[in-house]
Chains A and B, each alone.
Chain A
């Protein structure tokens, strides 16, 4: 079965600083990887995804992530944090194998942006 590990349950950055949220995955077959964002009292919103092809993927709100197979990682970055980026971020994985289609989520990283 596949899984993801998010390193750091809480990350704080200053406004304008680089955002780096870490995600490592485990999968015996090629994975599909996703990042979601959750604002308070809201559902999860898809930020970006990697399925096949280009390993550097760009998403909404200036976020991007790079799939590194050799490191089994899919870290999320943004060059310059904005106050509105404060939220919880979830990494998720699935595979196209058998009949299973469910996403497995990491435990989440709470991002705080300091003025």
Chain B
């Protein structure tokens, strides 16, 4: 298995632009999570899905952030408009059952200038 695949690995964008981060979970995993990692705040859960349905989006910072999971093999996290304070590493993770732990992707390092 190729693991959790995220794209792009790095993204540099100008303030105000739309940014879309992509994630392909491991086949058969029915939970998908989006986390954000910063030096100041550590790892923060943004949103998670179960069977493609958003279960908890209470960690989404504001309306500029949105996430979708149109099918079991693809999810997006969109920021529109982006701001410098959104600069962080964004991780996607999936699991087939919490007892197994999560498998994380390699992350997308977002820089908003």
Chain A interface residues (CB < 8 Å from chain B) = 32, 34, 36, 41-46, 49, 51, 90, 94, 96, 99-108
Using A42-B106, A44-B104 as known contacts, say yes or no to A32 and B43 having CB atoms under 8 A apart: no
> A45–B98 contact, CB under 8 A?
no
Q: Chain B residues with Cβ under 8 A from A106's Cβ?
A: 42
B65 interfacial by beta-carbon distance below 8 Å: no
Q: Please give the residue numbers on chain B whose beta carbons come within 8 Å of chain A beta carbons, in ascending order.
A: 4, 31, 33, 42-43, 45, 48, 50, 55-56, 91, 93, 95, 98-107, 109
Distance in angstroms between the alpha carbons of A46 and B95 in the assembled complex:
12
Contact indicator A101/B106 (Cβ below 8 Å): no
Chain B residues whose C-beta falls within 8 Å of the C-beta of A36 in the assembled complex:
101, 104
* CB-based contact A105/B42 at 8 Å: yes
Q: Is the CB of B99 within 8 A of A32?
A: yes
**A101 is contacted by which of B4, B48, B107, B109 (Cβ under 8 Å)?**
B48
Q: Could you tell me if A107 and B42 are in contact, using CB atoms closer than 8 angstroms? A: yes
Q: Among A32, A44, A101, A107, point to the contact of B50 (Cβ < 8 A).
A: A101
Asked whether, in the complex, the Cβ of B104 is within 8 Å of the Cβ of A96, the reply is no
Q: Do the beta carbons of B33 and A102 come within 8 Å of each other? A: yes
Determine the chain B residues whose CB is within 8 A of the CB of A45 once the complex forms. 104
